[in-house]
């Protein structure tokens, strides 16, 4: 009876860790390449992605791994979102464009193009740079979370 039940279901056991059927269990995650003019953005984005990947337990991050996740910050755009009564900008929106490429032993396995945005307040001009930096950190964490969800869904 037990053999009949096990043979009849279409499920199969998967490994606890890894993607691509367990072939990729650990990855190397170098600093994201910054193609923008924002000097510190690559550290914010790389930190967000490494923290999120580690928190899922799906993959381990190791140096000199056969699998490498290369990230590239393609563009950061800032636009005016809302104006006050005097015609001054009250809110801005920062939009982040990323490309992620997963390589295994030098061969491209998969590429993802990600895009997300976040609105931040700029009423106090002294805090504008700080608010922009915090918005970039928030959008980076959200993009990293969405990326790991994509990994879980696809593999």
- Give the pTM: 0.82
Partners of 72 in the β-ladder: 33, 99
Note the pLDDT tens digit of each residue in 10-29: 544 444 566 766 677 889 99
Note the pLDDT tens digit of each residue in 59-76: 888 988 889 999 999 999
What residue ranges do the domains of the chain occupy? 8-154
Q: What is the pLDDT of residue 13?
A: 45
Is the pLDDT score of 152 beyond 90? no
Q: Which CATH superfamily is domain 8-154 in?
A: Lipoprotein like domain (3.30.160.150)
CA-closest candidate to residue 36, choices 81, 128, 99:
99
């Amino acid at each position: 009876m037990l053999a009949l039940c096990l043979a009849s279901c279409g499920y199969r056991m998967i490994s606890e860790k890894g993607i691509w059927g367990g072939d990729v269990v650990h990855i190397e995650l170098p600093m994201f390449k910054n193609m923008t003019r924002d000097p510190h953005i690559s550290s914010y984005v790389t930190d967000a992605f490494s923290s999120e990947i580690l928190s899922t337990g799906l993959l381990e991050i190791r140096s000199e791994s056969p699998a490498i996740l290369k990230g590239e910050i393609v563009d950061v755009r800032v636009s005016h979102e809302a104006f006050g009564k005097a015609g001054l900008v009250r809110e801005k929106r920062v939009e982040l464009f990323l490309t992620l490429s997963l390589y295994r032993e030098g061969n491209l396995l998969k590429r993802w193009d990600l895009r997300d945005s976040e609105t931040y307040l700029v009423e106090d001009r002294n805090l504008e740079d700080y608010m922009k930096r915090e918005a970039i950190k928030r959008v980076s964490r959200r993009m990293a979370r969405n990326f790991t969800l994509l990994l879980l869904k696809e593999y």
